[in-house]
Amino acid sequence: MQGAHVLPDIDALSRAAAAEAVGIIRSAVAQRGTCALALSGGNTPRSLYRLLGTAYGEQIPWEHVHLFWGDERYVSPDDPASNYRMVRETLLNAVPIPAAQVHPMPTGHADPNDAAREYEVLLKRKFNDDWPRFDLILLGLAPDGHIASLFPGSKALVEDKRRVVAVRVPKEPPQRLTLTLPAINHAANVHFLVAGRSKAGALHRALVGPCDVQTCPALGVKPMDGTVAWWVDEAAATFLSAEGRPRASPH
Ligand code: 6PG
């Protein structure tokens, strides 16, 4: 059972999560001279990314930030469905981050498994051959319960050796790349951003249950040496009390 930070709406949620992200980035750079972020796709983080590029942009030492992706739709980087494209449009165009520090998941291989392996090689290189230690991973939560591109019932949920896998999912676009749960669980901080009434049932199942990892992939997010935070708006929190306990049945 975990509680959640409940904010009135997506704007307040984005501001609160952005302020927290800035703190994490600054403290990582102050301590180690570098910061690694893994970004989520979807619509919810758009406002947060815009804030990181505008109101909060000058507080971030972009020359020390390295950007990665938690998942990617297997489409070209210019496709409207591309998570990389979304970040480019909302954030990258606005900030002085060196291009060599932006690491989108590759989507040009004929076989997506080769793309997953290429990203694993990159992660191993960037993290001294060890599991990736992201300072912050941002994740969304879909109404069907998927996080990154780890969908309920997927074999990828039991993967324990790979950092990145190619998956086929029951949603457009069906071919995706995703970090695995062990890769996520080596992060220092994992923040979920959840907004909108359509997420209320999935959020209640993830925070209150009853549920298991195969049905609620978010339950597999348990960093071994890190924190989890849930940033949610009131609409998504419809079935939660202020303490993250049920106040109404979603069924
Ligand atoms: C993706 C994701 C995915 C997303 C959720 C929530 O590439 O689709 O990274 O896990 O975060 O589906 O998406 P929304 O924010 O659009 O609701």
pLDDT tens digits for range 153-193: 999 999 999 999 999 999 999 999 999 999 999 999 999 99
Ligand 1 atom closest to the CA of 198, numbered from 1: 17
Domain membership of residue 19 (yes or no) is yes
| Cα-to-centroid distance, 42 and ligand 1 (Å) | 4
Domain membership of residue 198 (yes or no) is yes
Question: Residue type at 10?
Answer: I
Q: Is the CB of 221 under 6 A from ligand 1?
A: no
Measure the CA–CA gap between 155 and 167, rounded to whole angstroms.
9
Does position 3 have pLDDT exceeding 70, yes or no?
no
Domain membership of residue 251 (yes or no) is no
Task: Assign residue 30 the CATH number of its domain.
Answer: 3.40.50.1360
Q: Strand 35-39 relative to strand 136-140: parallel, antiparallel, unpaired? A: parallel
Average pLDDT, the chain: 95
Sheet holding 164-168, edge to edge: 71-73, 175-179, 164-168
Q: Is 182 exposed, middle or buried (0-12, 13-18, 19+ CB in 10 A)?
A: middle
| Cα-to-centroid distance, 112 and ligand 1 (Å) | 20
As a whole number, mean pLDDT of residues 123-133 equals 97
| pLDDT tens per residue across span 18-76 | 999 999 999 999 999 999 999 999 999 999 999 999 999 999 999 999 999 999 999 99
Q: Is the CB of 83 under 6 A from ligand 1?
A: yes
Domain membership of residue 101 (yes or no) is yes
| pLDDT tens per residue across span 221-247 | 999 999 999 999 999 999 997 655 445
| Cα-to-centroid distance, 246 and ligand 1 (Å) | 24
Nearest CA to ligand 1 atom 11: 140
Domain membership of residue 173 (yes or no) is yes
| Cα-to-centroid distance, 146 and ligand 1 (Å) | 8
Per the structure, the complete domain to which residue 45 belongs is given by: 4-242
Tokens of 46: 């758009």
Domain membership of residue 249 (yes or no) is no
Domain membership of residue 250 (yes or no) is no
Total number of domains constituting the chain: 1
Q: What is the separation, in whole angstroms, between the first and last Cα of the chain?
A: 20
Domain membership of residue 29 (yes or no) is yes
